[in-house]
Amino acid sequence: MEVKICKNDLKIRLTPIQWFVTQEKGTERPFSGCYNKFNGKGIYVCIVCGQELFSSKNKFDSGCGWPAFNEVLDQGRIVLKKDTSLVGSNFLLLLTNPHMVRIEVTCSKCNAHLGHMFEDGPKPKKKRFCINSAAMNFLSDTTDV
């Protein structure tokens, strides 16, 4: 179920990098995000709407500079879309460089841009959800405390 978010309220609530990433489909600089090397146990949620997205159990160090997960909590919580922004409308560039087509990951509830999915992750699923730290909050698992 998609929710409508007031853009004016959101612009006040989010930091500039959070706005840039989630609303303008931006990307934070590699190795700059607070969750890249973070290893806490818990759940990562959408910074915009709070929908639970990824478990720390599925997080791994891919070395790419962004938090990486090999699975989403539930496939219905994200939307995958073809992203040709690297090639724009240059059809010839697209034909000669098909690897430049990426798969964008957005939140299914609020449509916030989260990052991209690649098929070079760990076996058996070979998925790598490369997600911007600026697109997420972390909820610590307090059951072990």
Residue 110 among the catalytic residues: no
Q: 3-state class of 73 per DSSP?
A: coil
**CA dist., res. 121 & res. 95, Å (int):** 25
First to last CA, the chain: 33
**CA dist., res. 31 & res. 17, Å (int):** 14
Residue pair 66/130 in contact by the 8 Å Cβ criterion: yes
User: What is the amino acid identity at position 142?
Assistant: T
Which of 46, 107, 110, 130 is catalytic? The answer is 130
∠ Cα 54 45 42 (to 5°): 60
Any idea which residues carry the catalytic annotation? 130
